[in-house]
Amino acid sequence: MLCMYAIANCDTVKKARAFLDKKKVEYEFVDFKKTPPTVEQIKRWGEFFGELPVNKKGITFRKFKDEYESLTSAQKIKLIIENSSMIKRPVLEKNNKTIAMGFDEESYKGLKF
């Protein structure tokens, strides 16, 4: 089963959802605001992303940038979980394996759902 982790009112997430809906791809939507990610998820997404999965261009990250950069890895993960709006989104997983982060229509076209 495909699972999308995100925030419902994010414009990028809306584009990704519209793409999946148009392609009639079934997925479960998990809202970070209602179900915060776990430490394990943040680590898994970070492995896929190549670093902790934060959107460094986003408002939330910029708000915490100085604090974030002074923290240990474990403290950064805790801050990310407490402020899930700073996560790069959406995160797509299939069978607990990350297959995409963010939304790019061309890369989504190449995914196997």
Angle at CA of residue 77, ends 81 and 47, nearest 5°: 110
Hey, is 107 helix, strand or coil? Answer: helix
Domains recognised in the chain with CATH numbers:
2-109 (3.40.30.10)
What pLDDT shows up at residue 4? 98
pTM score, whole prediction: 0.93
- The structure tokens listed for 104 are 């790019």
List per-residue pLDDT tens for the chain, 113 residues long: 899 999 999 999 999 999 999 999 999 999 999 999 999 999 999 999 999 999 999 999 999 999 999 999 999 999 999 999 999 999 999 998 999 999 999 999 999 88
Q: Report CA-CA distances (Å) from 49 to 15, 21, 25.
A: 20, 25, 23
